[in-house]
Structures are given as structure tokens and as C-alpha cells.
Structure 1
Amino acid sequence: MKHAIRLLAASASLLLWCSFSAQAGELAPLSLQEAKAQGAIIVDTRPSHFYQGWPMEGESQGGHVPGAVSLSADWKYDDEQWPQALRDKGLDARKPVAIYGSERGLAEVARMLRMRGFHQLYELKDWQEAKRDHLVRWQQLVYPQWLADLQAGKPVVAAPKGDWKLFEVDWGAPKAFLISHIPGADYIDTNRLEQEPLWNKVSDADLEALLLENGIRHDTTVVLYGRNTMAAARAAHLLMYAGVKDVRLLDGGIEAWFIAHLRTKTGLPHQYEPVKSFGAKIPVHPEYLTSTEQAKALLKQPDGELVSIRTWDEFIGETSGYSYIEPKGDIPGAKWGHGGVDSQSMSDFHNPDGTMKPSSEILAMWQQWQIAPQDQTAFYCGTGWRASEAFFYAWLMDWKRISVYDGGWYEWSSDPKNPTITGVRKPSEA
């Protein structure tokens, strides 16, 4: 019986492989030069970490063909999401499309595009020899298999130069952590990073105490992940403010680990050995944090941008976004930097699997509101989590003059002397 089951499973796998092969084989080949001559849209079907910059096994370079858009074969869009996804990626069924990646990826993306009226589909043949583009700091946005290999002691690209530590970050007691977490992870409660009444950063002394307690020096590589990437990004920003030189985020958080079917563990957090000295005076990067007074000054600065990382309904004053924040509206002169579906979401910045969107798509959102890389930019939200994720993505793109306005809408709106605004605004009115 077991033998028969194995034969059936093998036959099914063979049929599936043949199906993918047949679908991929239907695509006519197209060279990169021909694709450019025909004005073809180039599509990368691989997992997003390869697109962002991580090299595949056996490659000397990572990243994507210049100008290519990312449409991973692993992503799932529903019918309502497809039109916006196609717009974000500039995909037009009237134009030729050249796709590249694995055989399975080619077949799956070709199938998805055909279902949406794309018929001029080609396979890009010489993409592996092409010069690649990549996210500037792609090494700081790690993916599950890289982390698993690092834990296993295997050689990895962009390995930490010295001591490294792994932390899950979340609010409150580690209830979900106890049930399932990445092996070897310690736990950081965001209550140790921020404090009431406004949930702003704790004092520098308290921040340093937390770092020392967890064995973190300025030269420790710290890998962070969360059930929600915003929490990990909040920690990442404050560690960078303190002066930790090598801070990395697990792209897609623990959900990406689950999707990769990697081993998890139950039980208490790992306890790292405390250290006596951080090795640098905190903060090493005070410029990464903006106060309310600095935010007001920024609004008067010709190249200053105060960027609201909130939902559209929060930005126009339909909701405050939080049960504990009563005032609705936003800061006059601020620009809308997008957010997600609610105050617990950054979906405007994420692929369907929760990983970071290509920088070109994030830049396109910000460019609509004249938010430019060269400007002095402070990101804010309600209390700092969403703003920290936007900050980290801008830093990955090598924006030089960025910070988080820590107080955000909560602190701004708590003072009745501060002006507020509601209603729909256009970029030109910001």
C-alpha cells in the first residue's frame, strides 16, 4: 500500500512538473536587447529577496535586471487586488512582457497574466548575464533561509562580522512567543522601548540598560523580527539611534518563517549574557529622532518634509486611528506618506506575503506627494511604530536625512495650542 502511495505521489509530481514545463515552453524566447527594442515590460518572478539583492546559489551577484518589476510566483492576489497590483507595476496587456526566473515561476506568472488578458508573453533568456540593480542596503533585509543557514553555522553571504543576536519584538508579555518562535530568539517587549503617557522613547539611560541587559554592544549584529514588522522596526530605529551599527530585519516577519516551513520552538526566550559596556556614548545618532519643536521648525524649512505614515482616513480626519487618541485630523503642512488599511497595518508598503515592496513602488507613492530622497524628512504616525518602518525602508534605500518624529499625532494633538487640519488635501496643498 505504501509503495502504491509513493508511486501515485511521484506520478502527481511528474505531471505537475510536466505541466509547468509545457506552460513555460510555450513562451517564445526573447533576449534582453530584443526586449528593450520592443519596449517590453520585464518581470522578475523569483522570491522578492532575490529581486532586492540576495544572490541565488551559485551566483556572484544578486538583484534584478534593471527596470524589471517584481511579481513573484509565490504571491496570491485576489480579484479586487489585481487591478491595483498591475497599475503599481506598470503592467499593460497591450505591451509585450518578458518574464524570467525558475521554470515553475515562469509557468505560474504566465498563467496569472494570461488570466488577466496578457497574451504577448515571452521568456527573457539572457537575464543571468545582465548587470543587476538592487536595494542599496539589501543585506539588512534578511530572509528566512539565510537566517536558518546562519543559525546552522553554514557559510552565508553578508555574514555578521562578529557577535550576532536574534530577537523577537512585540508588545507585552511573550504569549504568542511561548507557543511558537524562531529557535534561539530572545524577546524584547516594546514597553521597554517606549513609555506612557504618549508612548515616546524611554530615556537614553533606560534604553542603554535594556541593551546591556540583552548583551547588545554597538558592534553587535542584531537581527529582529516580529509578529508585526512594525514592532521590530520600532526596535530597529531605536537601536540605530543608540548606535548599533548592524541592525537587520527579517523581511516578512515570523510569517515568512512559517511560510518557509522552517523549524520553530516553544518555551521561554533565549537569555543572552549581559555586557558591561555599550562601547559608545548613546545616542550615536541623535539626528534619527525628531522632537515636536524640531517638527515645527522642519515645516518652515524649504527642503523640510513632515511625512504622515497613516491611513488616508486618519490623514483627512475621518478617524484618529486609535481607541486612546480622541482628536481626529493631522498636522497642517504635512504630506501623506501612505500606511495601510488601519493603524496596525503597513500594507501599502508590503507585497502580498508581507515582505517589503520594491523601492521603485515605494518611491512612486512618495513622489506623488513630492517627498524626495534629498529632502530633510521626518516620518511620523500615531505613536511611532509605522513611522519606524517607513524610516527603515528609506534607510535601506540610502536616504541620508531621515528621522522619526517620535511624538507623532498623539503628542501633537494632545496640545490644544498646536494647529490641526481635516478634510481632503492634494499633494500641491500640503
Structure 2
Amino acid sequence: MPHPLVTANELAALLDDAASGGAPVRVLDVRWSLGGPAGLPLYREGHIPGAVYVDLDTELARQGEPQEGRHPLPDAADFQAAARGWGLNDGDTVVVYDDWNSLAAGRAWWLLRYMGASDVRVLDGALSAWTTAGHPLAVGADDMTSVVPGAITLSAGHEPVLSADDAASLPANGVLLDARAGERYRGETEPIDPRAGHIPGAISAPTSANLDDAGHFLDPDTLRERYEALGVSVDRAVGVYCGSGVTAAHDALALTVAGFRPAVFPGSWSAWANQPERPVATGATP
């Protein structure tokens, strides 16, 4: 698998090569944040040239029952249709970015991998890395209206996932990580879901610890040390969840950079908390 991160200058070089007849590169703008602002107006104000806007709520998730969580995985056929609408073809290099510490971009990266895309990368440092490096932005929506539909073939199941039952049993013989902020893990606050706390046996692993002060992912050795200190090893199963399955992908990306193969619980806490029969733990310990 190609390295899951790309620097701004590496992306610029890939785009220059593609413009000169080299391998195609598709750039996806996945700006989104819980509670706004909306990503599409930001895209129109300025985006990486050639990028296509992707809506997380409607294209990287589907509507479901509360017991499925707030961002259930989209059906494979629907996702394939969306990806073709972004202009993706089999074998394309796909680069995703946002302006939210790569949290939404991590979801796009993981979902594309789960659906079978072969070369997906996240712009390390998010959009600010691109502008800080001196690269230009395009304005308006011409890059959206000029997309030539692609013919990518996708199907579900190319990355491991956890059901609620899997998440419940994993701490007995593996490691289950909670990617949310520490106060939500401890149950001190819960602004969205019906119950506060964490899955019994889960270990707190906030996404903020994956990045340096500039929003870049830590180097592989440092990330490996971080996760090994939480009990992760190559010979133990590791899974991760968050609030609704979005930021869990950020930990999954960091774990992948560190050399591990994580599974994601897509329903995450929003699914667990809406199943009254599921137990809840609170406090700082698993």
C-alpha cells in the first residue's frame, strides 16, 4: 500500500506530473466539522486547483437508525456512484484534505480504502500546509462542473471493521481505543449522544495526540511509541471507535502510519449509546 500521507510539495509535484501527461491524480476537498461551518461555501472561497468537493454527511455516510450511529457507512453501490461522480477511476492516486486537522479527510481515506481504492493519501497538515508552502488556491465551482465522470469499481470489506459485539469482546484479548477527547471518554460531558462514558475495557487515545503543533502527523516511530504505550502491538488485534465513526479513522490512519492494521467500529459511541442493553463505563480507567 502506498504511504498514506503526502506533503504539500509532493502533491504539487504529482499534480504537475499529471498535467504533463503522467499518472492521474484526483484531489478531494472534504471540509466538514461538527456543527459547521458548511464545507461547500469554503470550497468555493478557495480550494486546491482541480479538487472536487465531497460532502461527508451525504456521500461519506448514509441516514440510518439511531442504533447504527450518526454516520453509518454508505452502501457500496451508492458510494461507487458518488466516487464516479468525483471523477475517480481504477488505479487513480486519490488525495484527500480538509481544514480540520485531517479528521474528516481521515474518514474519506479510510472509507475509500474500505471500499477498495488502491492508492489513497491524506494531505499531511491539511489545507494550511498547502497555503503555507506557497501553493495557489482556485476559487468558485468550475472544478466541480467540469468533472468527467469516472468508472471506478468499488465494493465493501477491504479494511477490517468491528460490530458492537466485536467491540464489546475485543478488550478481552486485544486493544480497543477510544479516539474522543478525554472528558467524553471519562463521561464528564456528552454533548451529542444519549449516554456519557465509554465502552467497558476501552483505552483513551484522543486524536489530538497524533499531531504536532502545526497539525502534521507525528513521525512513524513516535506514533508507534505512543500506541505501544497504550498496549498496541503487531501480535494483538487493535480496534478504534469515536463518537460517530469519523474521528476514529484519524486514529486508524495514525496506527497505519505506525505500522499496525486497525479495525474501525463504524457505529462508534453514537451506536453503542443508543443500545440500552450495552453497558457503560465512566472515569479515567478502562
The offset of 1:420, in angstroms, is 0.4
Matched, 1:240 2:113: yes
**2:17 aligned partner:** 153
Matched, 1:207 2:79: yes
Secondary structure at the residue paired with 1:398?
Answer: coil
**1:409 aligned partner:** 269
Secondary structure at the residue paired with 1:290?
Answer: coil
Q: CA RMSD in A?
A: 2.3
Q: Hey, what's the Cα distance between the residues in 1 that align with 2:117 and 2:157? A: 8
Taking structure 1 as reference, are residues 269 and 363 closer, same or farther at Cα in structure 2, changes over 3 Å only? farther
- For 1:153, the aligned partner's letter is D
**1:335 aligned partner:** 203
Q: Hey, what's the Cα distance between the residues in 2 that align with 1:151 and 1:328? A: 45
In the TM superposition, what whole-angstrom CA distance separates every residue of 1:332-387 from its partner, at most 9, and x where no partner exists? 011222x1xxxxxx331111110001223223332332122332111111012221
Of 60, 77, 80, which residue of structure 2 is paired with 1:193? 60
The offset of 1:195, in angstroms, is 2.7
Matched, 1:273 2:145: no
Q: Hey, what's the Cα distance between the residues in 1 that align with 2:250 and 2:160? A: 13
Identical residues among aligned pairs (%): 27
Contact 1:299–1:305 (8 Å) recurs in 2: yes
Secondary structure at the residue paired with 2:143?
Answer: coil
**1:69 aligned partner:** none
Q: Hey, what's the Cα distance between the residues in 2 that align with 1:205 and 1:279? A: 9
Q: Hey, what's the Cα distance between the residues in 2 that align with 1:391 and 1:262? A: 29
Secondary structure at the residue paired with 1:195?
Answer: coil
Gaps of 5+ in 1: 1-135, 340-345
The offset of 1:173, in angstroms, is 4.8
Contact 1:186–1:269 (8 Å) recurs in 2: no
Bigger Rg, which one: 1
Q: TM-score, normalised by structure 1?
A: 0.59
Matched, 1:311 2:181: yes
Q: Which of the two has greater strand per residue?
A: 1
Secondary structure at the residue paired with 1:328?
Answer: coil
**1:141 aligned partner:** 5
Secondary structure at the residue paired with 2:30?
Answer: strand
Q: Hey, what's the Cα distance between the residues in 2 that align with 1:368 and 1:211? A: 38
The offset of 1:207, in angstroms, is 1.2
Secondary structure at the residue paired with 1:379?
Answer: strand
**1:122 aligned partner:** none
**1:86 aligned partner:** none
**1:392 aligned partner:** 253
Taking structure 1 as reference, are residues 423 and 326 closer, same or farther at Cα in structure 2, changes over 3 Å only? same
Task: Report how many aligned residue pairs link the two structures.
Answer: 272
Of 192, 216, 235, which residue of structure 2 is paired with 1:324? 192
Structural mapping, 1:27-426, within 5 Å: 139-153=3-17, 162-171=23-32, 172-191=38-57, 192-196=59-63, 197=66, 198-228=70-100, 229-268=102-141, 270-271=143-144, 272-276=147-151, 278-279=152-153, 282-285=155-158, 287-300=159-172, 302=173, 304-320=174-190, 323-337=191-205, 339=206, 346-400=207-261, 402-425=262-285
The offset of 1:168, in angstroms, is 0.7
Contact 1:377–1:403 (8 Å) recurs in 2: yes
In the TM superposition, what whole-angstrom CA distance separates every residue of 1:30-84 from its partner, at most 9, and x where no partner exists? xxxxxxxxxxxxxxxxxxxxxxxxxxxxxxxxxxxxxxxxxxxxxxxxxxxxxxx
Q: Hey, what's the Cα distance between the residues in 1 that align with 2:197 and 2:142? A: 40
In the TM superposition, what whole-angstrom CA distance separates every residue of 1:148-202 from its partner, at most 9, and x where no partner exists? 22222389xxxx9833211110234511111111111111110211134521212
Q: Hey, what's the Cα distance between the residues in 1 that align with 2:76 and 2:256? A: 22
